[in-house]
Structure 1
């Protein structure tokens, strides 16, 4: 077998909408990237942020080239990474919007480099830009950390297009696993769905599995037996139409 064989890239890429849906299943933390140019503050919400190296200490942050913060970081040569706490989803939403004074009413502490760092953030890292490779619509800012601090607390998480607590991420994952279990008929019709068994197979918390079964009962995918046990509901045309209509209501409003 020739291990040096080059596999040609497919001519057709994954559909962007499908790709967005799939990568949305990757849970991440939430940050606000900040910088300053000529005394004016810039900031934007970003989840494509990661540690890169320990020697030297480096971070990377990916910013869309259409963002004004992107251009400001290029010009300033320095940026701040503000890792948001679980109670700061309002800041994630505020800095995620375009236009307006995003810093209005937001307390900040200015770093030695002049970068505005958000007060109350779970962790803060100031970086000096070292390299700026590009990929697709984004620039990857590789920065050497010049200052870093953190406090006790829990992080804000981003999962499937929504902000929330890490516990919320686990709840959504449990719901998806239980729904797949029910629709896949891994427990035969007529047999009780065992939350403990499902939790063990899905590597989830039994409490979250139980709550998922309750939710699926409200969605008519699960029914309660005479003894209160959970049972998979038979799939009927009416049930399929009901689930489809419900999804349209959620997605289209």
Structure 2
């Protein structure tokens, strides 16, 4: 089993059903990106070793949760414990090795072409929030989607450079607040358009505190409280999967992002 740091700064899990070895493989063209790519899931120990959070590792494994995979994974962790390769917090030690980059069959499209294509994908606008008091952080997102009804969970994509990103990882919980058309100015504020940062963004809007001690927007179309159950790093973003533990919905008209503009569903 290898956690591979790709040349684009993403993370992939190769050989996820091979429990006889465990390593972090950094592609030769990704050395300068390796530390940033690994930060959400690992603690680096010099240049030779990384201590991997097992729950974050599960977030990279497509078959995590399947009985056979879990059996093999548990056996691997037990072996590592006997060898002294598991620390007091349960993190698993992995050697860092270098690999030749995987050659893609075709190069990806240009970034500008990608962005132009995604402008045609209409999406509901939400504010993702976490933390308490002066530690509150939040950001406007459109990359939110349902994942499963059993158990109820959703996925949200957060840029790893966003100030809310590391706070979500540290807290292990977040809220997703689906916005009404009347929240356009609030959406722009949490997108950084007015220059505010940190907890000061919450000075505007009807913000309350949910059951998980999270910021929730009291007049949102729906305020959803989540516990972080998995994360997966892809390029510049982390995909956070949240187990939904609370919802509070009301009637209204959604705010929609389409062609680079925040507008009503009818206009979009």
What is the TM-score normalised by the length of structure 1?
Answer: 0.61
Q: Does 1:57 align with 2:161?
A: no
Q: Does 1:28 align with 2:130?
A: no
Unaligned runs of 5+ in 2: 1-102
How far is the alpha carbon of 1:39 from its aligned partner?
A: 4.8
Deviations 1:175-219 (A, max 9, x none): xxxxxxxxxxxxxxxxxxxxxxxxxxxxxxxxxxxxxxxxxxxxx
Correspondence list, 1:1-253, <5 A: 9-36=104-131, 39-97=134-192, 99-100=196-197, 101-169=200-268
How has the CA–CA distance of structure 1 residues 161 and 10 changed in structure 2, closer, same or farther, with 3 Å as cutoff?
Answer: farther
The structure whose RCO (Cα within 8 Å, separation 6+) is larger is 2
Q: In structure 1, what is the Cα distance between the partners aligned to 2:150 and 2:177?
A: 21
Structure with more of its chain in helix, by fraction = 1
CA contact (8 A) 2:186 2:204 kept: no
How far is the alpha carbon of 1:99 from its aligned partner?
A: 4.3
**Paired residue for 1:208?**
none
Q: In structure 1, what is the Cα distance between the partners aligned to 2:136 and 2:177?
A: 14
Structure with more of its chain in strand, by fraction = 2
**Larger Cα Rg: Structure 1 or Structure 2?**
1
**Paired residue for 1:4?**
none
How has the CA–CA distance of structure 1 residues 122 and 38 changed in structure 2, closer, same or farther, with 3 Å as cutoff?
Answer: closer
Q: In structure 2, what is the Cα distance between the partners aligned to 1:109 and 1:79?
A: 14
CA contact (8 A) 1:37 1:76 kept: no
How far is the alpha carbon of 1:46 from its aligned partner?
A: 0.4
Secondary structure of 1:164 counterpart: strand
Q: In structure 1, what is the Cα distance between the partners aligned to 2:106 and 2:163?
A: 32
How far is the alpha carbon of 1:11 from its aligned partner?
A: 4.1
CA contact (8 A) 1:37 1:75 kept: no
Q: In the comparison of the two structures, how many residue pairs are matched?
A: 162
Q: In structure 2, what is the Cα distance between the partners aligned to 1:46 and 1:10?
A: 32
Any runs of at least 4 consecutive aligned residues in structure 1 with deviations exceeding 3 A, and if so which?
A: 8-11
Unaligned runs of 5+ in 1: 1-7, 170-253
Q: In structure 1, what is the Cα distance between the partners aligned to 2:135 and 2:105?
A: 44
Report the RMSD for the aligned CA atoms in angstroms: 1.5
Q: In structure 1, what is the Cα distance between the partners aligned to 2:222 and 2:249?
A: 4
Q: In structure 2, what is the Cα distance between the partners aligned to 1:113 and 1:96?
A: 24
Q: In structure 1, what is the Cα distance between the partners aligned to 2:206 and 2:174?
A: 17
